[in-house]
Amino acid sequence: MSRVLGPLLSVKASGSYANTLIFQTRQGQPRVMFKYPHRPSRSALQQKIRAIYGEAISEWRRFTDEERAPWNEEAKKLGISGVNLLLKKMVARRYPVAYERIGYAAGVYSNANN
């Protein structure tokens, strides 16, 4: 844990206090920021999506360059990477309700490469 250098609420304070207040100087201006604790969401939907992402990434890593090429070509038309296209298709196929809830219309992407 960092320590605060200088008087705590002075212009010369820098560092952090109790891992919640951060004192720093940016562009010559003193700043005090509050560090919000990370609260991981563990909803059932998020756990399912994370599991699908994990499977998709594992599958992508097993692909050879020749197997990745069609994914990358199709994804290039959409302005995304091949791995992102694989993620979208796996979520749409495995859990269509989640796919709709995260803002994508079901059936937009075909499952031709799956």
pLDDT, position 102: 54
Query: Which tens digit of pLDDT belongs to each residue from 14-72?
Result: 676 666 777 777 777 777 777 777 777 788 878 888 888 899 999 999 999 999 999 99
Q: Which residues contact 37 (CB under 8 A, 6 or more apart)?
A: none
Q: How far apart are CA 68 and CA 79, in angstroms?
A: 16
**Residue 99 reports pLDDT greater than 90:** no
**Residue 104 reports pLDDT greater than 80:** no
